[in-house]
Amino acid sequence: MIIKLPEIGDINKKVEVIEIPVKVGEFIKKDDTIVVLESEKATIDLPSPNEGTITKILIKEGENIYSGKSIMELEDIINKKVILNKEKSIAQAGPAAKLMARKLGIDLETDKIIGSGKKNCILKEDLKSYIKDKRIESSEDNTDQNVKNILSVSAKKLHNSWRNIPHVTHFDELDITKVEKFRKTIKYELGIKITLLSFFIKVCSCALQKFSKFNRLLDFKTNKRNFQKSSHNNISIAINTSKGLLVPVIKHVDKKNIIDIALELKEITKRTLIGKNKIDDMMGGCFTISNLGIIGGKGFTPIINSPEIGILGIGKTNIKPIWTGKQFKPTTMLPICLSYDHRFINGVYAAKFIKFIIKLLTDIRNWIVC
């Protein structure tokens, strides 16, 4: 069986092989990581589509590869299972320890394990301690490297975006009193935790349909706006992780309701934070939202996530005295900001875009236009 690199969005988009954690002759299970790839947006673990023994590795670390590239070959898993079922000639381990070693992928012939049983016999407890120590060691070795890889990619991407794109940022604020009341009603009645970010994702989807200039990707080769139908209403979400900034994508937002979006946002955020993103999770975005509301801040200038041409920033809610015409009323206000590529979006168009978002979030009844 030949394993090939699956589709990673743009068929002409290359990714770098930064690690091959397996070797020829090794038996792997389905979904085991066989290659670690680095794209412009993230470091991604590529899982094996099947189980079997690796007979050939057709790529090397540092190589740039494309979708469809042959990565490695696996032999018939039935033959391998026959080999795995044979007893190993280990004198200092009992049957239970041998069985456990096979399940954990430990080679008792080559791995240096000191037994704590009689006559240094290896026990199941020894195997557990060995695995624990190896995981700690592996974590210490790999964490710094993974962090450096992702931070390096993110830094390069952000620097290029800031250097090459003429950013303009529009600042505004909105009254979220009604939408917050509605959000809490859903939470209490349905028992589903829905964050304000879910509402922003849906509203941005509506705005992208009305203001289609924002729903375009920049073609770097021609430096022109290139409309991508496959990216229509796919919203990228900037998430801060221990390994750096990652930007997974919520797909086809226009076809999903608030509950669907909330559930998917929760799941994709969880996968992002623990480093279990799929390749497809990181591809296809057309507009990004960056939420700093939990941390705070009255406003900031978010950097555009190229090749997109717009990004919405969300600040922290605060209570402000707002004049109603008769009196000052304590009102829950939320600062927002919109950075856009001024080569393709002018100030008036951007102002209308953000005012439309404010209109929808100020009164949920305005969603009838979506």
What amino acid positions are annotated as catalytic residues?
A: 342
How far apart CA 42 and CA 248 sit, in angstroms, is 9
Q: 28: helix, coil or strand?
A: strand
Q: 176: helix, coil or strand?
A: coil
| Strand-pair partners of 331 | 320
Cα separations in angstroms, 212 against 9, 50, 230, 258, 357:
21, 42, 14, 22, 14
- Would strands 167-175 and 328-341 be described as parallel, antiparallel, or unpaired? antiparallel
Examine residue 335 and say whether the peptide bond preceding it is cis (omega within 30 degrees of 0). Answer: no
Residue for token digits 């950013």?
A: 167
Beta carbons within 10 angstroms of residue 125's beta carbon: 12
Cα separations in angstroms, 343 against 79, 212, 268, 285, 346:
60, 15, 33, 20, 8
How far apart CA 214 and CA 357 sit, in angstroms, is 13
